[in-house]
Structure 1
Amino acid sequence: MNPILEQVVVLISSLIANTFSALAGGGAGLIQFPVLIFLGLPFSVALATHKIASVALGVGGTVRYMKEDLVEKNFAVFMFVVGIPAVILGSCAVVNIPEAPAKLALALLTIGLGVYSYLQKQLGQHYAPNHRDCHGFIVGGGLLFVVGFLNGSIASGTGLFATLILVRWFGMDYKRALAYTLIIVGMFWNGAGAVVLALISDVQWSWIPVLLLGSFVGGYLGSHLAILKGNKWIKRSFEIVTVLVGLKLLLG
Structure 2
Amino acid sequence: MDWINTFALFLGSLLANTLASLSGGGAGLLQFPLLIFFGLPFSVALATHKIASVALGLGAAYAHIKHKSFSVGVAVYLIFVGSIGVVIGANIVLLIPEDLAQKMLGIMILALGIYSRLKKQLGQEEVQSHRDPLGWFIGGIGLMLIGVINGSLTAGSGLLVTLFLVRWFGYSYKQAVALTMLCVGLFWNGIGGIAVAQAGAPIYWPWLPVLLLGSFLGGSLGAYLTTRYSNKVIKTCFEVLTFAVGVKLLV
TM-score range, shorter chain: over 0.9
Cα distance in 2, alignment partners of residues 230 and 80 from structure 1: 26
Shift of 1:89: 1.7
Partner of 2:88: 89
Partner deviation per Cα, 1:100-158 (whole Å, 9 max, x = no partner): 11111011001111100000000000012211112101111111011111111111111
Q: Which residue of 2 aligns with 1:37?
A: 36
What SS does the aligned partner of 1:165 have?
helix
1:1-252 mapped onto 2 (5 Å cutoff): 2-200=1-199, 201-251=201-251
The alpha-carbon distance between structure 1 residues 12 and 38, as it changes in their structure 2 partners (threshold 3 A), is same
Once superposed, which parts of structure 1, at least 4 consecutive aligned residues long, lie more than 3 Å away?
2-6
Q: Report the aligned-residue RMSD.
A: 1.1
Aligned partners of 1:231, 1:176: CA distance in 2, in Å?
A: 9
> For residues 123 and 169 of structure 2, what CA distance do their matches in structure 1 show?
10
> Structure 1 3/97 Cα, relative in aligned 2: closer, same or farther at 3 Å?
farther
Residue 96 (structure 1) shift: 2.5
Quick one: distance in 2 between partners of 1:30 and 1:150?
15
Aligned residues: 250
Give the percent of matched residue pairs that are identical in Structure 1 and Structure 2.
Answer: 49
* Cα distance in 1 between the residues matched to 2:179 and 2:129: 16
Greater shift, 236-245 or 224-233, is seen at 224-233
Secondary structure at the counterpart of residue 69 of structure 2: coil
Q: Deviations over 1:48-104 (max 9, x none)?
A: 111111111111111111122321121111111101121122122222220111111
Q: CA deviation at 1:46?
A: 1.2
Deviation at residue 5 of structure 1 after TM alignment:
3.5
Gaps of 5+ in 2: none
For the residues of structure 1 that align with 2:7 and 2:242, how far apart are their CA atoms? 27
The letter for the 1-side match of 2:233 is: W
Q: Which amino acid aligns with 1:105?
A: M
Shift of 1:227: 1.1
User: Residue 202 of structure 1 aligns to a residue in which SS?
Assistant: coil
C-alpha separation in 1, matches of 2:88 and 2:5: 33
Instruction: Give the SS at the match of 2:54.
Output: helix
Q: What amino acid does structure 1 have at the position aligned with 2:229?
A: K
TM-score (norm 2): 0.97
Q: Distance in 1 between matches of 2:28 and 2:87?
A: 19
C-alpha distance in 2 between matches for 1:38 and 1:8: 14
